[in-house]
């Protein structure tokens, strides 16, 4: 059995209540889009997006950080460092409570990928109504958990309030040197939000999913040092947690495990 731990910052530009889920710019909810920025699209990006993030955002990229084979950690396993991604333009599909309540939204579709220069693994869920049709019962999050200590340890942000205040100070410093009035105003609005309670409101909470991967996939291995046999004949599964929400830059922290039976 292979157990691969992954973690890293992800990015998702999504409208928040009471805005409708398909709102493009943000009107009444916490998330607002500033001039010059792309529309909200709800997509979940585990790797860097094709556009610039707001200043002082964390580096986006979810990767394999540890690998265990038959209960033994393998320090130089070929999967270590591999890029983890969700394919198919996945998004949180809660639809303002029509599909699922806040914090329990399914990720639709759920197509999991690991990619290294010589290994490419893709696997999705089985093609059954509970996974691919409204209300996506088997894709909904199992729980939303508030655990400040766990999130602090994962993100290495041990004082979220101070973390956001430091960013506010950095932006204030940038405003002093900025000559463009529009950019000054955008910076001032970011500072105001970063100093508000809303900035840290959801930092310590994480959503948790447990997703069996028993559907179609792809296994391409050109790495001779990989000793384990990975096939689609056996069940895979993913345990995923998304938390550490940073609404200023619309990023969060992803952490979890891919389990592959061999």
DSSP character string of 227-242: -S---SSS-EEEEEEE
The predicted structure's pLDDT at residue 262:
85
Burial of 172 (0-12, 13-18, 19+ CB in 10 A): middle
Write out the H or E segment, with its range, that includes residue 153.
Answer: helix 148-155
Helix (H/G/I), strand (E/B), else coil: 184: helix
CB 12 within 8 A of CB 252: yes
CA 179 – CA 98 distance, rounded (Å): 45
CB 13 within 8 A of CB 42: yes
Peptide bond into 135 cis (omega under 30): yes
What is this structure's pTM?
A: 0.96
- List per-residue pLDDT tens for the chain, 262 residues long: 999 999 999 999 999 989 999 999 999 999 999 999 999 999 999 999 999 999 999 999 999 999 999 989 999 999 999 999 999 999 999 998 889 988 899 999 999 999 999 999 999 999 999 999 999 999 999 989 999 999 999 999 999 999 999 999 999 999 999 999 999 999 999 999 999 999 999 999 999 999 999 999 999 999 999 999 999 999 999 999 999 999 999 999 999 999 999 8
CA 217 – CA 182 distance, rounded (Å): 47
Q: Where are the beta strands (DSSP E) in 13-139?
A: 44-45, 61-69, 72-73, 83-86, 91-92, 107-108, 111-115, 119-124
105 Cα distance to chain centroid: 13
Q: What digits encode the pLDDT tens for the residues 108-119?
A: 999 999 999 999
Q: Which residues contact 3 (CB under 8 A, 6 or more apart)?
A: 67, 68, 69, 257, 258, 259, 260
């Amino acid at each position: 059995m292979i157990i691969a731990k992954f973690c890293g910052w992800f990015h998702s530009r999504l409208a928040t209540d009471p805005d409708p889920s398909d709102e493009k710019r943000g009107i009444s909810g916490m998330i607002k889009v500033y001039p010059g920025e792309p529309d909200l699209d709800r997509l979940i990006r585990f790797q860097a997006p094709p556009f610039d993030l707001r200043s002082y955002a964390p580096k986006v990229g979810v990767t394999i950080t540890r690998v265990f084979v038959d209960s033994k950690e393998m320090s130089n396993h070929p999967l270590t460092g591999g890029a983890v991604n969700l394919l198919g333009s996945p998004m949180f599909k809660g639809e303002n409570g029509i599909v699922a309540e806040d914090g329990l939204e399914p990720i639709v579709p759920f197509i999991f990928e690991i990619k290294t220069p010589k290994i490419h693994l893709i696997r999705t869920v089985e093609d059954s109504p509970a996974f691919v049709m409204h209300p996506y019962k088997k894709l909904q999050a199992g729980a939303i958990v508030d655990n400040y200590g766990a999130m602090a340890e994962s993100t290495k942000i041990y004082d979220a309030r101070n973390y956001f205040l430091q960013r506010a100070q950095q932006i204030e410093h940038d405003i002093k040197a900025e000559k463009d009035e529009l950019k000054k105003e955008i910076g001032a609005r970011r500072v105001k939000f970063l100093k508000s309670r809303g900035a840290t409101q959801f930092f310590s909470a994480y959503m948790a999913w447990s997703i069996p991967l028993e559907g179609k996939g792809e296994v391409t291995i050109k790495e001779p040092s990989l000793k384990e046999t990975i096939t689609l004949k056996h069940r895979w599964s993913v345990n995923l947690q998304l938390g550490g929400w940073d609404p200023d830059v619309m990023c969060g922290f992803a952490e979890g495990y891919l389990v592959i039976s061999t």
